Amino acid sequence: MAPKVSYAAPWSNALLAISTLATVLLLAIVVLGLLVGPRSNPWWIGSMVVMPLAILLFTASRSVRGYCIEGDRLYIQRPVGHKTIALAPLQAALVNPQAMDRSIRIWGNGGLFSFSGFFHNPQLGQYQAYVTDKKRTVVLTFPTHKLVLSPADPEGFVATVLQARTHG
């Protein structure tokens, strides 16, 4: 079996700024909810305390931490619930730093700890992203879908993925 190869998912300055600002805003809402509002009202507590904390916890738990290739499998590493992708049906793997340009988010996260979910743009059509740096993007093309990832070493990642696909 091929050795396990891991790639970090470094954060871009944009992701760091968006995540920091959104976290501060959500925590400010929680503090205001606890200090200002009617703490005995369950609707107030739910919307001003529970909801912002749930958003932070959920997005943090689903953030992209890295990518691991082992055998013929790609693992998208997240704090909770790693995603596993079989590489056997992979048709192409290309470094494309413009992969997310002009994208519209269909469903997902637009920058709180990652850019992840379903997106669409004129270049790729619909695709799924697990990205932390939009300028390090790699496009993996499968028969039924496309994935966009952002490993620290895009060229090395592509070489490893293509080798894993053929040698498993």
Token pair, residue 15, equals 């992701």
Whose CA is closest to 105, among 90, 86, 127, 124?
127
Per-residue pLDDT tens for 48-64? 999 999 999 999 999 99
Whose CA is closest to 66, among 128, 11, 13, 1?
11
Instruction: Give the per-residue pLDDT at 165.
Output: 81
Instruction: Give the per-residue pLDDT at 3.
Output: 77
Instruction: Give the per-residue pLDDT at 48.
Output: 95
DSSP H or E segment with residue 94: strand 92-95
Average pLDDT of the segment spanning 142-166 = 95
Q: Average pLDDT of the chain? A: 95
Global pTM value: 0.91
Domain boundaries, the chain: 1-168
Q: Is 136 exposed, middle or buried (0-12, 13-18, 19+ CB in 10 A)?
A: buried
